Amino acid sequence: MAYRIRIKPQAEKALGKIPNPHRRRIAKAIDSLARTPRPSGCTKIVGAENAYRIRVGDYRIVYEIEDNVLIVYVIRIAHRRDIYRNL
């Protein structure tokens, strides 16, 4: 069963500022979360109940999974040096 993807406005705004070749790879990774919300290489974020991150080159995607309603919420998209600030 496929999950629905919801992108928070902050993450959508950040995605729009990323250069195009990277943006396409990130969008493809987000789309793949609908089929596999916990792909190989994903890491659970310490201190968060159901938050995970995946790597896409130098960028990171932080998201939460709601298994009971089959939704993946993309919380943040940022460069690896900035992703964990104020998380």
- Domain range list for the chain: 4-79
Residues 53-83 pLDDT 10s = 999 999 999 999 999 999 999 999 999 998 8
pTM of the complete model: 0.90
User: Is 14 buried (19+), middle (13-18) or exposed (0-12) by CB count in 10 A?
Assistant: buried
> Which architecture does CATH list for 4-79?
2-Layer Sandwich (3.30)
For residues 75 and 73, give the distance between their C-alpha atoms in angstroms, rounded to a whole number: 6
In Å, how far are 6, 9, 84 from 87, measured between CA atoms?
Answer: 18, 15, 5
pLDDT of residue 1: 74
pLDDT of residue 35: 94
Q: Does residue 87 register a pLDDT over 80?
A: no
